[in-house]
Amino acid sequence: MSDFEGGPQKALLREKWDLPIIQGLSTQLKRPLRYFGMPGPSIEDVRAWSGALNHVTAIELLRLKTQDEDDDRERHRRLNASLLQNGIDYQILRGYVEDVLIKGHDIDNKTPPFRKSTEDVVRFCYDLVNLDFFGGAGYGRKTVRGRPKRLTALKELFRRQQGTEFILLLTLNVRDTIDEGLTEYLQQLRKRVDDRFRKIVDWYAKCGNGQKKYRLKVAILAFLQRVAEDECFKVYCYPPIGYSGSSNATMVHFALHCTPTGDQLHSWSIQTPEDLLRLPLLSCTNGTIDIAPTQHEDFDWQHCYQELANVPKPFMDSLQAQALAQKGGGLG
């Protein structure tokens, strides 16, 4: 039995990138935030963000009547002890986080405490949602058609959260079995963007072995933006960050600020799909965050420079300086 170990890059993201974003929303709302996610028994994220939180709803896996049940129950015991020791208000739900999002309750039929019921759905009311999927975006099966369960859960998250402003932090392993689905999605996206950007989509679609983080960066951002807007959210997407996680797994970290609107049909974010294509992929290595050395052909450094004005302040100056250097100092 072993716990997930995030490593030094994950710790840097948690403390220097995510925390300023979280504190920004806490300051805006003038109160600490309600957290929904998978902190694990070590509750590293809860400890790092505790000054900005006033409640934690923690989901921990419990596989009943399997060879893993005893280990899972021990993890629940340690998670409960860690949260109790931390002194924060909390609730623990048992089961897969995907099932909690899709069904609205855990395996014990317990629902999250911050919720409101409408005629058709139980709405969640969380300010911070942290989903850390070491297993990737999804695992499709040749015998089963349709969207993988994990992507269905992400779509359902926005329906559950409808009407509540929140930060979504999502971390994905590049290892999954939805390569074909990612390629098909990019092909569909290509038809919807301006002609000038189709060559960029083609570049991402052709990223092969060792470069999947680039395809994931574009496809996941475009997917999340679209399903969020369907639930009448305006979304701001920060530049995604690639890093090496536990067991040298290649991970991609996403941060989105989701703001509900009064729209009745569909909302439109300030960032367009073309803007998402032009976001840089950042890289977290050696104790800092930089612009990844590889970007798509004819990368727009002017747009990059402007978007970097919105990143967390600890990195804004250095990242903008990197964009400026790539353009030869010609940005104005």
Cβ contacts of residue 307 below 8 Å, gap of 6+? 239, 275, 278, 279, 280
Residue 3 is predicted with a pLDDT of: 59
Residue 278 lies in a domain: yes
Residue pLDDT, tens place only, 84-128: 999 999 999 999 999 999 999 999 999 999 999 777 789 999 999
For residue 168, what are the CA distances in angstroms to 146, 193, 196, 257? Answer: 24, 25, 30, 6
Residue 331 lies in a domain: no
Residue 332 lies in a domain: no
Cβ distance 276 to 302 under 8 Å? no
Please provide the average confidence, as pLDDT, over all residues in the chain. Answer: 91
Provide the domain limits for residue 153: 7-326
Q: Residue 300's domain is classified under what CATH number?
A: 3.40.50.150
Q: How many domains does the chain have?
A: 1
For the entire predicted model, the pTM comes to: 0.93
What is the rounded average pLDDT of the residues 259-281?
A: 96
Residue 169 to residue 21: CA distance in whole angstroms: 10
Residue 286 lies in a domain: yes
Residue pLDDT, tens place only, 16-40: 999 999 999 999 999 999 999 999 9
Residue 204 to residue 200: CA distance in whole angstroms: 7
Residue 331 is predicted with a pLDDT of: 47
Single out the residue of 249, 246, 176, 244 nearest to residue 215, CA to CA: 176
Report for 108-122, 140-154, 192-206: range of highest mean pLDDT = 192-206
Residue 222 lies in a domain: yes
Residue 2 lies in a domain: no
Residue 1 lies in a domain: no
Residue 264 lies in a domain: yes
